[in-house]
Amino acid sequence: MTTTEVDHAALELALSRILGNPEHSHHDQIKAKLASEPWIDVATFAASSEQIDALNLKPWQAPPSHIDDADAVIALGTAHPDYKAAKLLQRMLAHGVSKYAPDPILAIEAVKLGRARR
């Protein structure tokens, strides 16, 4: 898997949010995974976990980080279970936000605010 600098920063943020909070429900799991699994795998798991929490997703709903081709999913129509995640991913990418941003909505809003101040 190839990641950009923006992706790497988002993955680092996801990990730090979990590892920096000993009370986080995935703290111990992430620490254990880092000891035995590749960093990129653990970081993408952390990002997905953070997105699921931030977006309050149901177990059957995919986070944006799980979508590989947003256009293809959107083409399948609104009835597709990953449609909302694909639409959100499109918005994220249009704003220069990584698909691994731990809190996608907050990240988009931060970009919008940054542009408004310029």
For residue 61, what is the DSSP state? Answer: S
CA distances from 46 to 33, 37, 77, 114, 116 (A): 10, 13, 29, 26, 31
For residue 64, what is the DSSP state? Answer: G
The domains of the chain are located at: 5-117
Task: Record the tokens describing residue 111, joined without a space.
Answer: 């970009």
Per-residue pLDDT, averaged over 6-35, amounts to 96
Task: Record the tokens describing residue 59, joined without a space.
Answer: 């177990």
Could you give the percent of the chain with pLDDT greater than 90? 92
Whether the CB-CB separation of 100 and 7 falls below 8 Å is answered with yes
Per-residue pLDDT, averaged over 14-22, amounts to 96
What is the overall mean pLDDT for the chain? 94
pLDDT in tens, 24-69: 999 999 999 999 999 999 999 999 999 999 999 999 999 999 999 9
C-alpha torsion angle, residues 80, 90, 13, 117 (rounded to 10): -140
- Does position 75 have pLDDT exceeding 50, yes or no? yes
